[in-house]
Amino acid sequence: MSTPDYDLVIVGGGICGAVIAKTVVEQCARKKKFPRILILEAGRATALSADKYDTYVEAYHEALVKVPNAPYPASSSAPQPDVLDIRPLQDAQGRPAVSDQGYFVQKGPMPFGSDYARSLGGTTLHWLGTCLRMLPNDFRMREKYRRSVNWPIGYDELKPYYERAEWDIIGVAADVGHQYYPGIEKGDPRKFFKSANVDKFPGGTYSFPMEEIPSSYLDQYLAKHVDDMTVTLPAGYPGEKEHKFTIRISNTPVARNSTPARPDYKVVGAAGNADRGQRCEGNSSCIPICPVQAKYNALKTLYELIVRYPYALGDGEKPGRRARVDIRSQCVVTQVLHSTGAVTGLTYKTYYDDGSPATDHTVTARAYVLAANAIENATLLLASGSAANSSDQVGRNLMDHPLLLTWGLLPENVGAYRGPGSTSGIPAFRDGGFRDTRTAFRVEIGNWGWNFPENSPYDTVLDLVGGSKDGRAKCYGRQLRKELGRILPRQFRIAWELEQDPEARNRVTIDDRYKDALGKHRPVIEYDLSEYVKASLPWAAEASRQLFARLGMTEKRRRPTYETGDYSHYDAGDAAQVRYKGKTYWVRGAGHVVGTHRMGDDPTDSVVDSHQRSHDLRNLFVAGCGSMPTLGTSNPTLTMTALALRTGDKIAEELSK
Ligand SMILES: Cc1cc2nc3c(=O)[nH]c(=O)nc-3n(C[C@H](O)[C@H](O)[C@H](O)COP(=O)(O)OP(=O)(O)OC[C@H]3O[C@@H](n4cnc5c(N)ncnc54)[C@H](O)[C@@H]3O)c2cc1C
Ligand code: SF4
């Protein structure tokens, strides 16, 4: 047999691929093994130096609409989904329609409302950075609530990997004492975080590596007005009792640099310039881009990996005595070649400029990792003769956190549009007996006014100068500044992030009619919400009503009124509308793309095992949020990073043999 080109080839230079590469290099080095690793990345590597990263910042400044992918250039060779391409999936007569407007081909009945980035660094370039651990019950939904499926591993098994993810990879800022977990030790977080690593955390008393990012003035205002209030939510079926929840505003763990909590933690600055981004400076543009990289992105891990590690962990410059990590950007993997239970190679296309001919290549390795994001992993496997799919689960169980937004104008100035996108949330609805009939949800408090639902401050300015079609009296100069000063700092919105359950019908497929410029299949998506999810929409809306009433925002209002009140509304033109029990709700995507190659012990019902190894192809690992069987109410990347560390350990163990 010929010698493989590499020990390990990883598809995708996002956080998942970067973490696995880093872990393999580190763990192998401990055994004096120095693997050769190749990362194939579809997008451009523009931002690996701090100066080049600034071109993204400039693109962001120039963009008219600041959606998540605004700073990252579109490419026909490595196209990416964009939330601006989301369309209602009905024709003028209200009949179902397919939309192939953007990169996704959306077959509905609901549009899938999230995007991802296809540039080196991946979607962490424009994530918010919320880093919540999943709750123990999230891993055992079937056992506890007779819903969804259980994971093959539980919270306790993942806990040491959460700690490594928070300390060694992402750098999470939070205070254990300020966390609140419903149902766990009466909300006492210490047991939840208790560590088995007593050498690092004496007595098992866990602490995050960095001090918490201070709660915003808005968070403090809310805590003053709604902390300890009881929200009562009605029964939904005969015999069910009403449910009561105690509201507590809780500071959120985030991937954002602050002050080290202990002297043994060194803050990681920007990729290519460690002096930048050592502290969050409140630039207030975390989505779509942190100008100084105070927020974690995968470029930081990749930079460390290619610039420092091979020398630091290896045996100087001696050939074969240091790890070799090659990153090849603008290389789109198109096929997983396989035979008799193993992957035999990957084919990929290299492009230089959009439109110029791409060149074809094949690469071989001892082991392979797909880490191209849940939707791309599934598309790639399906396009490879339905590889690793004896269970027929590849592409299925696609999930997100459907978001219900509510927003209003508070009676007082709360300093909106300052600081990170969110610094606190309301965890009260994350767990409880109600999960046997309706989905849990988490409340994210937004610091950026009505930016998400109303494209403010831009649309507010348009309203005031009379540029909107609603056009009130024109307002310019000093009066405009005064009005903006009155309105913008009082804008308030919350996102009700609903847990979605896995359903086989929610899926990614491929269709030979839909290919991109390089001939790679585009993802074809079928997506809907289950009754289980929909049952929580009226609850979220009612909880919002009670919170808003407590805050003095009872009047229903519409722009451009700009008086105190509740401005949440549904517009007929909005893409993702959900009818439930006679009411219409407007649901957005959260960017949390999960579930397309789920893990499990049973190969007939899952794609990978608990180490994210394919049940069918022994040298293939399919990694990322796609492996998560359920997603609870935590933003998924921290859990995905913990899983990637575990997978990296496993691969290193095997490569070191
Ligand atoms: C607006 C937004 C906000 C978010 N906020 C949060 C948050 O606060 N907290 C949280 O936990 N999560 C958040 N997320 C989700 C988070 O960004 C993702 O979970 C995470 O980035 C996934 O990491 P990944 O490495 O698996 O995939 P990605 O980060 O998407 O990286 C995949 C990489 O693979 C490359 N690739 C794709 N196809 C190919 C191919 N065929 N060949 C070669 N390379 C390929 C891509 O170019 C990309 O670089 C957010 C997402 C969005 C969109
Ligand atoms: S608030 Fe600003 S400095 Fe802080 S993480 Fe967000 S964009 Fe970066």
Q: What is the pLDDT of residues 619-630, one digit of tens each?
A: 999 999 999 999
Q: Whose CA is nearest to atom 4 of ligand 2?
A: 280
The model's confidence at residue 101, banded by pLDDT at 50, 70 and 90, is confident
Q: Regarding predicted confidence, which is higher, 255 or 306?
A: 255
Q: Is the CB of 624 under 6 A from ligand 1?
A: yes
User: How many Cβ atoms from other residues are within 10 Å of residue 345's Cβ?
Assistant: 19
Q: Whose CA is nearest to atom 6 of ligand 2?
A: 286
Q: Helix crossing, 637-655 with 155-164: angle to 10°? A: 90
Q: What is the pLDDT at residue 467?
A: 61
Contact yes or no for 204/401 (Cβ under 8 A): no
Q: How far apart are CA 183 and CA 186, in angstroms?
A: 6
Question: How close is the Cα of 163 to the center of ligand 1, in Å?
Answer: 21
**Residue 439 C-alpha from the chain's centroid:** 19
Give Cβ neighbours of residue 657 (< 8 Å, ≥ 6 apart): none
Question: How close is the Cα of 595 to the center of ligand 2, in Å?
Answer: 29
Question: How close is the Cα of 542 to the center of ligand 1, in Å?
Answer: 33
Q: Is the CB of 184 under 6 A from ligand 1?
A: no
Question: Which one of 127, 280, 448 would you pick to mutate in the ligand 2 pocket, going by the greatest count of ligand atoms within 8 A of its CB?
Answer: 280
pTM score > 0.85 for this model?
A: yes
Ligand nearest to the CA of 623: 1
pLDDT tens-place string over residues 107-142: 999 999 999 999 999 999 999 999 999 999 999 999
Ligand 1 atom closest to Cα of residue 16: 25
Ligand nearest to the CA of 295: 2
Q: Whose CA is nearest to atom 5 of ligand 2?
A: 295
Residue with tokens 């803050």: 267
Q: Is the CB of 66 under 6 A from ligand 2?
A: no
Residue 302: which of 15, 57, 56 has the closest Cα?
A: 15
pLDDT tens-place string over residues 388-440: 999 999 999 999 999 999 999 999 999 999 999 999 999 999 999 999 999 99
Residue 594: which of 107, 149, 77 has the closest Cα?
A: 149
Question: Which one of 38, 84, 123, 329 would you pick to mutate in the ligand 1 pocket, going by the greatest count of ligand atoms within 8 A of its CB?
Answer: 123
Q: How far apart are CA 9 and CA 24, in angstroms?
A: 12
Residue with tokens 């009670």: 546
Q: Give the percent of the chain with pLDDT over 90.
A: 82
Question: How close is the Cα of 604 to the center of ligand 2, in Å?
Answer: 44
Given a cut of 80, whether residue 597 has pLDDT beyond it is yes
Give Cβ neighbours of residue 583 (< 8 Å, ≥ 6 apart): 537, 538, 541
Rg (alpha carbons) of the chain, rounded to whole number: 24
Residue 652: which of 227, 393, 367 has the closest Cα?
A: 367
Q: How far apart are CA 124 and CA 373, in angstroms?
A: 11
The model's confidence at residue 2, banded by pLDDT at 50, 70 and 90, is confident
3-state secondary structure of 485: helix
Q: Is the CB of 269 under 6 A from ligand 2?
A: no
Q: Helix crossing, 637-655 with 15-30: angle to 10°? A: 40
Respond yes or no on whether the N-terminal peptide bond of residue 109 is cis (omega within 30° of 0): yes
Here the tokens at position 345 are 């190679």
Here the tokens at position 314 are 């290896």
Question: Exposed, middle or buried by CB within 10 Å (0-12, 13-18, 19+), for 478?
Answer: exposed
Q: What is the pLDDT at residue 468?
A: 54
pLDDT tens-place string over residues 236-253: 888 889 999 999 999 999
- What amino acid is encoded at 282 in this protein? G
Q: Is the CB of 295 under 6 A from ligand 2?
A: yes
Alpha helix locations (H) across 254-413?
298-303, 309-313, 374-382
Question: Which one of 373, 400, 521 would you pick to mutate in the ligand 1 pocket, going by the greatest count of ligand atoms within 8 A of its CB?
Answer: 373
Q: How far apart are CA 409 and CA 548, in angstroms?
A: 10
Question: Which one of 210, 292, 422 would you pick to mutate in the ligand 2 pocket, going by the greatest count of ligand atoms within 8 A of its CB?
Answer: 292
Q: How far apart are CA 624 and CA 377, in angstroms?
A: 9
Backbone φ/ψ region at 373: left (φ over 0), alpha (ψ -120 to 50), beta: left
Query: Span 228-235, mean pLDDT?
Result: 94
Q: How far apart are CA 133 and CA 394, in angstroms?
A: 26
Question: How close is the Cα of 289 to the center of ligand 2, in Å?
Answer: 8
Q: Is the CB of 169 under 6 A from ligand 1?
A: no
Q: What is the pLDDT at residue 321?
A: 75
Question: Which one of 285, 289, 297 would you pick to mutate in the ligand 2 pocket, going by the greatest count of ligand atoms within 8 A of its CB?
Answer: 285
